[in-house]
Amino acid sequence: MKVRVHVSLKPGVLDPQGRAIQHSLEGLGFSGVHDVRAGKLIELEVDDSVTDDALDDMCRKLLANMVIENYRIERIAA
Amino acid sequence: MSAFRSAVITFPGSNCDRDMADALEKVSGNAPFRVWHGDAELPERLDFIALPGGFSYGDYLRCGAIASRSPVMRAIVEAAGRGVPVLGVCNGFQVLTESGLLPGALLRNSAIRFVCREIALSVANSQSLFTSGYEAGQQIMMPVAHHDGNYYADDATLDRLEGEGRIAFRYAEQVNGSVRDIAGILNEAGNVLGMMPHPERAIEPAQGGSDGRVLFESAVKGLVSA
């Protein structure tokens, strides 16, 4: 099955890339964009037997840096 | 006097490992062991371990993230726990934070630009194994070359680092947006130092300055006389 891990910067952690994207949107004439935060989407193809706990462990040990990032795990039915 | 036994670790994508080895050999008189990331064991009785700069694993996922999970890092975490001095420079600093040996994280530079120039630093702690040859508050020059050197930690961690004298170096000018101008920090026991500036690129006048040499001299002297 497919698993999507959404990794985002924690609130309060400065995101220079998000800010640059926001400025670029402004430059293109889009108004009303107050904030932009850039994150990561990691897609895993895993056996159905892989447990939620194991996925959680993967996120904590490698996929996200818990000092600066949050993560959300989403299982996608095949 | 017994030989100074040091090791320089090379990850795929390290590019300052030769400079680091050269600096250690010139200052200590002994060539360091060169250790590959896949090695599960370190040479015995090491006095000093250096994690060099570069772009290990192409900075994939996060800078230093993949390298910090490599086999040799388990041995380094164990050695650091026993008190073996560990120096991480630039990507080596990122590997140290990713491995949990040092707190915080290194984010993209605030101006989103790669910064490659000589910068002024001030010595915040002149009592550590790595910095005893400097004067407190001394201003020194070292090169930086990084895209992700913007140090971040939460306020409680920063207060603790400051309270315990664990900030080794601060930027004396605006470089990358690091919180509280932090350029280098020590672990709680004082035997692990991570820093973004490159002391190994400032060990002799031919490199444009030798302020970095003092760091290696401090460590060699501290360890040989210990």
What's the pLDDT at B2? 74
Q: What is the pLDDT of residues A49-67, one digit of tens each?
A: 999 999 999 999 999 999 9
Tokens (6 digits) for B13: 């994508």
**Whether A67 and B112 lie within 8 Å, measured CB to CB:** no
**CA-based nearest residue in chain A for residue B66:** A62
CA distance A62 to chain B (A): 7
Decide if B1 is inside a domain. Answer: no
The CATH number assigned to the domain holding A55 equals 3.30.1280.10
Decide if B164 is inside a domain. Answer: yes
**CA-based nearest residue in chain B for residue A39:** B61
List of residues 6+ apart from B62 with CB closer than 8 A: A65, B94, B98
**Whether A13 and B65 lie within 8 Å, measured CB to CB:** no
State how far the Cα of B2 lies from the Cα of B17, in Å rounded to an integer: 24
- Pairing label, strands B48-51, B6-10: parallel
CB B164 within 8 A of CB B148: no
**Cβ–Cβ contact A63 with B under 8 A:** yes
What's the pLDDT at A49? 96
> DSSP string covering A26-73, please?
HHTT----------EEEEEE--TT--HHHHHHHIIIIIS-TTTEEEEE
Regions of chain A with pLDDT less than 50: none
Range of the domain at B144: 6-224
Tokens (6 digits) for B100: 């949990």
The answer for A 3-22 residues in CB contact with B (under 8 A) is 13-14, 16-17, 20
Range of the domain at A17: 2-76
**Cβ–Cβ contact A67 with B under 8 A:** yes
Q: What is the pLDDT of residues B50-63, one digit of tens each?
A: 999 999 999 999 99
**Whether A65 and B107 lie within 8 Å, measured CB to CB:** no
**CA-based nearest residue in chain B for residue A69:** B105
ipTM for this model? 0.86
**Cβ–Cβ contact A65 with B under 8 A:** yes
Count of domains observed in chain A: 1
**Whether B61 and A63 lie within 8 Å, measured CB to CB:** yes
Decide if B99 is inside a domain. Answer: yes
Count of domains observed in chain B: 1
What's the pLDDT at B1? 53
| Residues of B forming the active site | 90, 198, 200
The CATH number assigned to the domain holding B183 equals 3.40.50.880
Regions of chain B with pLDDT less than 50: none
